[in-house]
Structure 1
Amino acid sequence: MPVDADSGADDRLAPVLRPVRAGNGFEEALEQILQVVRLGLVPGGERLPAERDLAERLGISRVTLREVLKVLQEQGLVESRRGRYGGTFVLARADAAGQDELRRRVAATDIEDVLRFREVLEVGAAGLCAEHGLTEEQRSRLRRALARTRDAPLTDYRRRDTLLHLTLAELCGSPSLTAQYAAVRATVNDLLDCIPLLVRNLEHSQRQHAALVEAVLDGDPAGAREVMREHCAGTAALLRGFLA
């Protein structure tokens, strides 16, 4: 699978893709790959992992996986390409159709519920990472995720911001929390896609990211929780202002 220069496939997809439970293989696999697409972990124009790799990660047969991919194709989210460089590629959202779909999702979303749940998960994950500590490899992963948000072009900022937050959620050591966060973050991203990118806000957000990572690496759970709480509050204020 071709990957962008800022991240390996494992870094990008590990927080979301996991073996599904018996009995709901099709539904849970569809949910996870939809999260991959909605979170931008594989951006428009890039290829999903090969079928064999995806099936192994999800713990399903390739027949079931193909049924999942067929649904995604029918929804206009991916396309299948043949040939040496073929595979299943994520399609970029059409602007008008995408905005209409986003408006429908926002109208059906309890924004306050989403924002509060997100805060609980994120503040908890930050505190756990700082309290229990990280291995050297995990510390390096967190630093790399932060560095990628600093270097991100404006058009790719939200995707890399998502990757930083997903990395922190994964490193807290609770797969259940990580799964719940990936789901709520997909909804948060839908909401964020309905409001403009504000350079001043992004600069403030980056200062908070740096302070957050520093608190986690310093083993300061109270500081990490407080920075994350403030960070979530800033995003919530913007979303309420534009969408409530």
Structure 2
Amino acid sequence: MDDKGWAQHIAPVRSAGAAEAVARRLNELIGARILVGGDRFPPEKALAEMFGVAVMTMRHAMAVLREDGLIETRRGHRAGTYVVPEVLTRIRELTALHPYTQADIEELTAWRIAVSGEASARAARRASEAGLARLRELETATDEAVADAEAYRTLDAGLHLHIAELSGSRRLMEAEQGIQDELTRLLAEDPGGVEARSTPDQLHRALVGAIERSDPVRAREQFTVHAEATADLFLPFVQ
């Protein structure tokens, strides 16, 4: 974790309810697959400085994540605090306590279309050649990982976060992180398995192609198709 550049996703939080805000932010970074199983946190003092809070506040925030089973503190060799190796399993267990409803999925899909659809359109207008090259790399890696649910989720989140980054909007990037966090929780049960992940609407060629062609209208349309296809995976299983 130390060399992944994750600190760019941290900003100071307000003092009121600061521990809860820090815990939510770190929880979101784990859900968005910016932090993954086995990633190591810096010392609490360094984390507190990143968030602009007191060390005791940071300690309380980490205690919340530890209580939820998302992080663990190790002693001895390579002592420190880490994201637990099987963090997706733990997220699945936590999500099962408050399962998604049809209304939740429909609302999430509308949020995705509004935020990620706009990010896709802006990316089509603004992406540099270097940004497009990275997008193609992520598309290839994601499609090649369809047989591995955890690897696919990480790469899929990374691809959509990269599109948000290409949009040039900090607010869209932050919103996309929240969306990917929710998707990780929603996708924890892996509905449809490999077959579902392999359908044309779940793959990313049409969306990436529209961004490559600098076609914002088509990019928005293709993202809408992609988001609605994801929603269709879940609707048969929810109330």
The answer (yes or no) to whether the contact 1:130–1:215 under 8 Å persists in 2 is: yes
Equivalent in 107, 117, 124 of residue 111 of structure 2: 117
Distance 1:124 1:39, change over 3 A: same
Report if aligned partners of 2:31, 2:180 keep a CA contact under 8 Å in 1. no
Q: Which residue of 2 aligns with 1:102?
A: 95
Match of 1:110, SS? helix
Does 2:122 correspond to 1:128? Answer: yes
Distance in structure 2 (CA, Å) of the matches to 1:19 and 1:82: 29
Alignment correspondent of 2:159: 164
- Judging changes above 3 Å, is the alpha-carbon distance between structure 1 residues 13 and 237 closer, same or farther for their aligned structure 2 residues? farther
Gap change, CA 1:82 and 1:177, over 3 Å in 2: same
Structure 1 residue 34 and structure 2 residue 27: aligned? yes
Cα RMSD for the two superposed structures:
2.8
User: Which deviations, in whole Å up to 9, do the C-alpha atoms of 1:124-145 show, x marking residues without a partner?
Assistant: 11001112x1234433332332
Pairing 1:232–2:230 present: no
Q: Could you tell me which runs of 5 or more consecutive residues in structure 2 were left unpaired when the two chains were aligned.
A: none
Q: Is 2:212 the partner of 1:217?
A: yes
| Structure 1 residues 242 and 207: CA distance shift in structure 2, 3 A | closer
Closer/same/farther in 2, CA of residues 18 and 170 from structure 1, 3 Å limit: farther
Q: 1:29 to 1:94 in 2, by over 3 A?
A: closer
**In structure 2, distance between residues paired with 1:103 and 1:77:** 15
1:236 deviates by: 1.0
Distance 1:41 1:206, change over 3 A: farther
How many residues are treated as equivalent by the alignment?
234
- CA deviation after TM superposition for structure 1 residue 234, in Å: 0.5
Change (3 A) 1:242 1:205: farther
% identical aligned pairs: 29
Which sections of structure 1, spanning at least 5 residues, go unmatched? 3-7
Contact 1:106 1:190 in 2 (8 A): no
- Give the drift of 1:57: 4.0
State how far apart, in whole Å, the 2-side matches of 1:215 and 1:128 are: 11
Instruction: Write the deviation string for residues 34-66 of structure 1: whole angstroms up to 9, x where unpaired.
Output: 012223332223323554654454344444323
Change (3 A) 1:59 1:205: farther
* Aligned residue number for residue 5 of structure 1: none
Distance 2:178 2:193 in 1: 25
Name the TM-score, length of structure 1 as normaliser: 0.81
C-alpha contact (below 8 Å) 1:123/1:229 kept by paired residues: yes
User: How far apart, CA to CA, are the structure 1 residues paired with 2:63 and 2:132?
Assistant: 39
